[in-house]
DNA sequence: ATAGGGTTAG
């Protein structure tokens, strides 16, 4: 019989019969033990051999076999020492085998005090229960410990970290330190993790100091954790410093740096680190790839993402659920939905996240039907919808204004208790608002959690979109009374509300207010303002604002470029339009379809049909909007043949025309005086192309008749058309009155116009044009003063150009067209179509010379 | 020690 190193005192509970019972209970078959069973010679096996065998079985995860040997040892009469139980418990820790571990714990207890009060065993038990994520049991055993040590502390701190009790974890670190146990390089990473979870950079820095003092800073684990902590706390400079100082860097160190950049939106830096990592020859892991893909998705970097896809395949990385979803996310975000689908079909395991990502991909792509299809498939695979699924499909119903399905979705949320999720309820509010049911949105908001910022923002955005700026502002104040401080999105929405309601000054004022409140405007704020100014007739100021934005260090994106191009268009600034075109070419965003379309539109409307055509020809997949831009461009040039040629080309390419196409064709007819052709197009529009005529189309015909036919014919047409004439239509009649010197009829129509829209500044301009054309400058001045009194500053009916200190004001030949046309005429040398009205000096006074030619 | 999905603003 081999001698035991421990215990030195006999165990009173030890008896053969007890262990025989245990043997039965664990159902051991001796076939597991070939070396021992088949050895007929039966050399005496030493305790040490048994121990090593158990130890290696435990390390291989063969716990039942290890237990069987334990039983065999007991049958052989060995007294079991703590190190054997320790090995077994360690095996259970590796395997997270809670049940087996509990059995071992029971055996230890049966062996009595000697074992259960052994420091080594006690610690192992704490570690075991901690690793099995049982905080109650682990804490109880930890508190009953006769002697704590670094290991038991490490286990408890690790447990607290895993289950998200980060405060407890940090308190533990402090307490162990106070009790004289120095946190080792296994405890430090957990402490740092807790710091980042709690965003306690200062505590993290303290730990960093401790790390340096203890000399742990050369430990890769610790240093990587420091990089991770600084990254998660947003202190990228410090993360980088630690990273640069690391004597050796493994994949995790590189990954931590990459993850830090990606999570802070520093996408370019992420890519740079990735490339450096490649240069150093470090093989990427799934973490590397997933993080890189996230950056590539944010940057719309299709090529880079595809290359990394190839790298992942070449590196033989397994396409697990998380890596797979990263690929789906990347391909969906860059608009390659087919590739996203392909990845999805190749994945072996899919969970709710995977399915949700595919659903939201289709929603973002505007494919509502397919998204719903996927929902059904998801259900047939016995996966339940969660709040993420519902938020996605509700936003799909919002985008497609499908209130019927929206209501079904709302009911589903009520039945399945999703309405308490703020993300879901904000989706419901948004859905009702986008479906035109603002009162339903309000009611859902009233019954929801009123402490959530996003819910407030959703409702404010809904009112803002409708131009109900008063209501939006009221909510903006109300949320602050309820103790919810507004964020950037709240400010942006209120500004948008003002601009949608033509309250340009209020919008500008709020833009200043937000800055004095310490909220810095972002790209969206600037773009909202630029777009709003352009839409309200302040094209020049919009361009100045765009330049100011760039001076403030904010890089424009696709949306802001499109907005500033539309500003160029409204004031026909070919010069600045070309500047923007240059910017676009230099920054390699010239492939964006919306920018290209805007460029065509800008050139066409600013008077350079040749440049418009040049850009148009460079487009590979031409869609409806760029054809429309070319048609409108030719219409404005008074080239109906060109407009109709593009219409024919469009038909050849099997592109369905829409309402805008026909507005272009009709205005081409109106410019060229083709009355019959105009009515032919009008008839074809609804009989052949099933496009319902809108107010705009009727307006074009009224202009056509009043210009080319007779004023009388136009009046008769107005009486027979199926819609009420709006201000725009009356405006074009008014212009015709001026052409025909029908001043009395003009004055009569003006009264109607002011009744229809008393605060529309465009009407003031239209009426003042009548007076201007007959040289009645006093009346013009009176109307301008009235506009100033009313706070109206919008000047869509006339146009101006700055020459030195003077602002020269022009009016179009018939005064009925947007100012764009005026400057277009000027640029294309068609001065005869235009009449010079006067000029505004720098101090704001208007001077009206009798006449002036333009050079 | 490091990695994946949803809501609100242009």
For each of the domains in chain A, give its residue range(s) and CATH number, in order of start.
1-147 (1.25.40)
Q: Is A834 helix (H, G, I), strand (E, B) or coil?
A: strand
Measuring from the CA of residue A556 to each C1' atom, give the nucleotide at the shortest distance. Answer: B10
Residue A62: CB less than 7 A from any atom in strand B: no
- Average of per-residue pLDDT across A344-364: 94
Q: How distant is C1' of B5 from CA of A356, in Å?
A: 6
Q: Is the dihedral of CA A374, A375, A378, A380 positive or negative?
A: negative
Token output for A4: 């035991």
Distance between the alpha carbon (CA) of A854 and the C1' atom of B3, Å? 65
SS3 of residue A809 by DSSP: strand
Residue listed under structure tokens 């025309």: A657
Residue A365, CB, strand B, below 7 Å = no
Task: Tell me the per-residue pLDDT of A105-115, one tens digit each, with 9 for 90 and over.
Answer: 888 888 777 66
Instruction: Name the nucleotide with the smallest C1'–CA separation from A458.
Output: B8
Express each pLDDT in A587-602 by its tens digit: 877 778 899 999 999 9
Closest CA to A825 of A574, A629, A653, A628: A574
The protein residue nearest B3 (Cα–C1') is A287
Q: What is the pLDDT of residues A700-743, one digit of tens each?
A: 898 888 877 788 888 888 888 888 888 778 877 887 777 777 87
Closest amino acid to nucleotide B8 (CA–C1')? A458
Residues 6+ apart with CB under 8 A from A792: A759, A761, A764
Beta-strand relationship, A834-840 and A846-847: antiparallel
Q: Is the pLDDT of residue A382 over 80?
A: yes
Nucleotide of closest approach to A350 (CA, C1'):
B4
Which pLDDT score is estimated for A503?
94
Q: What is the pLDDT of residue A255?
A: 96
For the beta carbon of residue A182, count every other beta carbon within 10 angstroms. 11
Would you give the distance in Å from CA A144 to the centre of its chain?
50
Bases along strand B below 7 A from a protein CB: 1-10
Closest-CA residue to A92 (of A108, A75, A76)? A108
**pLDDT for A569:** 87
Q: Which nucleotide is nearest to A492 (CA to C1')?
A: B9
Residue A424 CA, nucleotide B7 C1', distance (Å):
7
Q: Is the CB of A448 within 7 Å of strand B?
A: no
Residue A821 has pLDDT above 50, yes or no: no
Which nucleotide does the CA of A392 lie closest to, via C1'?
Answer: B6
* Residue A591: predicted pLDDT: 74
Nucleotide minimizing C1' to CA distance for residue A426:
B7
Residues A309-341: pLDDT tens digits? 999 999 999 999 999 999 999 999 998 999 999
CB A270 within 7 Å, strand B: no
Separation of A70 CA and B4 C1' (Å): 43
Output the pLDDT for position A762: 66
Cβ burial of A69 (10 Å; 0-12, 13-18, 19+) is buried
Residue with tokens 């029971």: A106
Residues A602-632 pLDDT 10s: 998 877 888 999 999 998 889 899 999 999 8
In the complex, which nucleotide's C1' lies nearest to the CA atom of residue A225? B1
Whether residue A176 is predicted with pLDDT greater than 60 in this model: the reply is: yes
> Does any strand B atom come closer than 7 Å to the Cβ of A429?
no
Q: Answer yes or no: is pLDDT of A33 > 90.
A: no
Reported as a single tens digit per residue, the pLDDT across A633-650 is: 888 777 889 999 999 999
Segment among A270-274, A300-304, A434-438, A607-611 with least mean pLDDT: A607-611
Q: Which of residues 531-570 of A touch strand B (CB under 7 A)?
A: 531, 557, 559-560, 563
As a whole-number percent, the residues of chain A with pLDDT over 70 amount to 85
Q: Which nucleotide is nearest to A219 (CA to C1')?
A: B1
Q: For position A775, what pLDDT does the model report?
A: 62
Judge whether residue A500 has pLDDT over 60. Answer: yes
A852 has a pLDDT exceeding 50: no
In angstroms, the CA of A52 and the C1' of B1 are apart by: 31
Instruction: State the pLDDT at residue A791.
Output: 65
Looking at per-residue pLDDT, the higher value among A259 and A83 belongs to A259
Tokens of A314: 């070449």
pLDDT for position A240? 95
CA distance A374 to A380: 10
More confident position, A517 or A78: A517
User: How many Å does it take to go from CA A198 to C1' B2?
Assistant: 18
Nearest nucleotide, CA A332 to C1': B5
Secondary structure (H, E, C), A278-345: HHCCCCCCHHHHHHHHHHHHHHCCHHHHHHHHHHHHHCCCCCCHHHHHHHHHHHHHCCCHHHHHHHHH
| Backbone torsion region of residue A513, taken as left when φ is above 0, otherwise alpha when ψ lies between -120 and 50, otherwise beta | alpha
Give me chain A's average pLDDT, please. Answer: 84
A244 pLDDT more than 80: yes
Q: Which of A83-97, A476-490, A615-629, A832-846 has the lowest mean pLDDT?
A: A832-846
Can you give the pLDDT at residue A769?
A: 67
Integer distance in angstroms from CA A416 to C1' B1? 39
The span from the CA of A694 to the CA of A726, in Å, is 11
pLDDT tens-digit readout, A553-587:
999 999 999 999 999 988 778 888 999 999 999 98
Q: Which of residues 138-197 of A touch strand B (CB under 7 A)?
A: 158, 189-190, 193
pLDDT computed for residue A731 by the predictor = 76
Please tell me whether any atom of strand B lies within 7 Å of the Cβ of A425. no
Q: For residue A201, give every residue at least 6 positions away whose Cβ sits within 8 Å of its Cβ, in sequence order, or none.
A: A195, A230, A233, A235
Confidence bin at A487 (pLDDT 50/70/90): very high
pLDDT surpassing 80 at residue A853: no
- Three-state DSSP at A757 gives coil
Compute the average pLDDT of residues A381-410. Answer: 96
- Distance separating alpha carbons of residues A187 and A278, to the nearest angstrom: 31
Band (pLDDT 50/70/90 cuts) for residue A773 is low
Q: Evaluate if residue A661 carries a pLDDT over 90.
A: yes
What distance in Å separates the CA atoms of residue A418 and residue A439, rounded to the nearest whole number?
Answer: 21
**Residue whose Cα is closest to the C1' of B4:** A322
Q: The whole model's pTM is what?
A: 0.76
- pLDDT higher for A11 or A216? A216
- Please tell me whether any atom of strand B lies within 7 Å of the Cβ of A522: yes
In this complex, the answer to whether residue A71 has its CB under 7 A from any atom of chain B, a nucleic strand, is no
Determine the average pLDDT of the residues in A431-441: 97
Protein residue minimizing CA–C1' distance to B1:
A225
Q: What is the pLDDT of residue A221?
A: 93
A531 versus A161: which is more confidently predicted?
A531
> By three-state DSSP, how is residue A593 classified?
helix
Tell me if A644 sits within 8 A of A665, measured CB to CB: yes
CA of A343 to C1' of B4 (A): 14
Share of chain A above pLDDT 90, in %: 51
Is strand B in 7 Å reach of the CB of A489? Answer: yes
Both structure tokens of A825: 């005429």
């Amino acid at each position: 019989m081999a001698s035991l190193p421990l215990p030195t005192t006999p165990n009173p509970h030890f008896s053969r019969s007890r262990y025989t019972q245990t043997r039965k209970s664990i159902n051991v078959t001796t076939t597991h033990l070939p070396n021992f069973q088949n050895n007929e010679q039966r050399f005496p096996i030493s305790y040490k051999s048994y121990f090593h065998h158990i130890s290696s079985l435990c390390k291989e995860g063969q716990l039942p076999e290890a237990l069987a040997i334990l039983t065999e040892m007991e049958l052989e009469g060995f007294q079991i020492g703590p190190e054997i139980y320790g090995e077994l418990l360690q095996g259970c820790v590796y395997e997270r085998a809670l049940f087996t571990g509990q059995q071992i714990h029971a055996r230890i207890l049966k062996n009595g005090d000697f074992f259960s009060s052994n420091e080594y065993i006690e610690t192992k038990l704490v570690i075991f229960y901690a690793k099995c994520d049982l905080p109650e049991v682990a804490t109880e055993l930890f508190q009953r410990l006769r002697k704590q040590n670094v290991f038991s502390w490490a286990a408890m701190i690790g447990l607290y970290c895993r289950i998200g009790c980060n405060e407890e974890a940090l308190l533990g670190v402090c307490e162990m330190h106070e009790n004289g146990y120095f946190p080792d390089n296994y405890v430090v990473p957990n402490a740092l993790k807790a710091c980042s979870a709690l965003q306690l950079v200062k505590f993290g820095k303290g730990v960093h100091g401790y790390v340096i003092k203890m000399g742990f800073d050369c430990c890769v684990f610790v240093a990587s954790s420091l990089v991770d902590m600084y990254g998660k706390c947003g202190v990228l400079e410090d993360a980088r410093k630690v990273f640069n100082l690391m004597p050796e860097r493994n994949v995790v160190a590189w990954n931590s740096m990459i993850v830090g950049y990606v999570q802070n939106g520093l996408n370019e830096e992420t890519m740079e680190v990735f490339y450096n990592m490649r240069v150093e020859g470090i093989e990427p892991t799934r973490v590397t790839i997933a993080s890189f893909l996230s950056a590539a998705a944010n940057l719309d970097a299709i090529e880079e993402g595809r290359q990394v896809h190839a790298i992942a395949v070449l590196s033989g990385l397994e396409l697990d659920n998380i890596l797979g979803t990263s690929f789906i996310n990347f391909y969906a975000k860059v608009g390659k939905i087919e590739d996203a689908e392909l990845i999805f079909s190749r994945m072996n395991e899919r969970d709710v996240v995977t399915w949700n990502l595919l659903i939201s991909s289709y929603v973002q792509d505007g494919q509502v039907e397919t998204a719903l299809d996927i929902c059904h498939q998801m259900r047939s695979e016995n996966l339940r919808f969660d709040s993420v699924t519902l938020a996605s499909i509700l936003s799909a119903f919002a985008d497609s204004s499908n209130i019927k399905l929206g209501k079904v979705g709302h009911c589903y949320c009520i039945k399945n208790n999703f309405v308490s999720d703020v993300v879901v309820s904000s989706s419901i509010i948004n859905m009702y608002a986008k479906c035109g049911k603002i009162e339903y949105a309000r009611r859902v908001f009233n019954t929801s959690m009123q402490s959530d910022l996003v819910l407030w923002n959703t409702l404010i955005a809904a009112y803002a979109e409708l131009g109900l700026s008063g209501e939006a502002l009221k909510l903006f104040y109300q949320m602050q009374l309820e103790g919810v401080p507004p964020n950037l999105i709240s400010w942006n929405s209120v500004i948008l509300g003002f601009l949608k309601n033509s309250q340009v000054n209020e919008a500008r004022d709020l833009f200043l207010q937000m800055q004095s409140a310490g909220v810095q405007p972002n790209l969206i704020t600037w773009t909202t303002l630029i777009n709003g100014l352009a839409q309200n007739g302040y094209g020049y100021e919009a361009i100045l604002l765009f330049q100011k934005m760039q001076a403030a260090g904010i890089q424009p994106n696709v949306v802001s470029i499109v907005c500033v191009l539309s500003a160029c268009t409204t004031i026909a600034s070919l010069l600045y339009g070309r500047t923007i075109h240059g910017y676009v070419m230099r920054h390699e965003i010239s492939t964006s379809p919306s920018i290209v379309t805007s460029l065509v539109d800008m050139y066409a409307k600013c008077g350079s049909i040749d440049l418009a055509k040049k850009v148009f020809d460079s487009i590979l997949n031409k869609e409806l909007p760029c054809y429309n831009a070319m048609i409108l461009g030719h219409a404005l040039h008074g080239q109906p043949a060109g407009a109709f040629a593009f219409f024919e080309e469009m038909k050849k390419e099997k592109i369905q025309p829409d309402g805008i196409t026909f507005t272009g064709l009709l205005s081409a007819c109106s410019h060229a005086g083709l009355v019959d052709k105009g009515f032919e197009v009008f008839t074809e529009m609804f009989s052949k192309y099933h496009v319902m005529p809108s107010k705009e189309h009727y307006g074009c015909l009224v202009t056509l008749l009043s210009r080319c036919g007779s004023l009388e014919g136009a009046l008769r047409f107005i009486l027979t058309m199926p819609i009420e004439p709006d201000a725009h239509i009356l405006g074009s009649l008014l212009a015709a009155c001026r052409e025909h010197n029908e001043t009395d009829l003009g004055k009569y129509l003006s009264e109607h116009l002011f009744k229809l829209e008393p605060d529309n500044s465009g009407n003031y301009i239209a009426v003042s044009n009548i007076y201007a054309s007959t040289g009645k400058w006093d009346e013009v001045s009176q109307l301008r003063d009235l506009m100033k009194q009313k706070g109206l500053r919008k000047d869509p009916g006339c146009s101006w150009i700055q020459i030195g200190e003077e602002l020269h004001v022009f009016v179009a030949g018939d005064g009925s067209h947007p100012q764009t046309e005026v400057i277009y005429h000027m640029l294309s040398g068609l001065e005869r179509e235009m009449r010079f009205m006067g000029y505004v000096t720098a101090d704001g006074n208007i001077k009206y010379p009798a006449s002036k030619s333009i050079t």
